[in-house]
Amino acid sequence: MAAAVTVPSDLMHPVVEQAVQGYAVNWLLKIELESDQLKDIEPCRKILAERGFSPLLSKTASSAMPSLHFKIAGTKLYEQADADADEALAAVMHANCPAALTWTVESTYRPRTR
């Protein structure tokens, strides 16, 4: 039996306690790719740009990848769960860029407008 796979929209659900207090939740999806070769991640950068993620390119090093390498990070804000988030991640994964791919969904709270 295959394990269930979590997709971004699985995490984009309102927090009842915050809604009761008058706050709405926005969701920030961040997709990152890291590689030793810039050309390896260029096709995925294009996909992120086409989908409105405003990808940023940087040279970086980290404890997980201590040698100097390239990183592309794109973010997009969603007001609610959206299949577009899942489709964007699937498009990047389908491109098979030879890079380390990570993604996160973060909640951001704002007062509800009346």
> What is the spatial distance between Cα 93 and Cα 87, in angstroms, rounded to a whole number?
10
Give the position of tokens 């950068």: 45
Kindly list the structural domains of the chain, giving each domain's residue range(s) and its CATH number in brackets, ordered by start. Answer: 29-111 (3.30.70)
Q: Side chain identity at 31, as an amino acid letter? A: I
Residue type, 79: E
Distance in angstroms (rounded) separating the CA atoms of residues 20 and 15: 9
pTM: 0.85
pLDDT for position 104:
96
pLDDT tens, position by position, 17-75: 777 777 778 899 999 999 999 999 999 999 999 999 999 999 998 887 788 899 999 99
Looking at this protein, which amino acid is placed at residue 51? R
Could you tell me which residues come within 8 angstroms of residue 48 by beta carbon, excluding any fewer than 6 positions away? 31, 54, 55, 72, 74, 88, 92
> Cβ distance 95 to 69 under 8 Å?
no
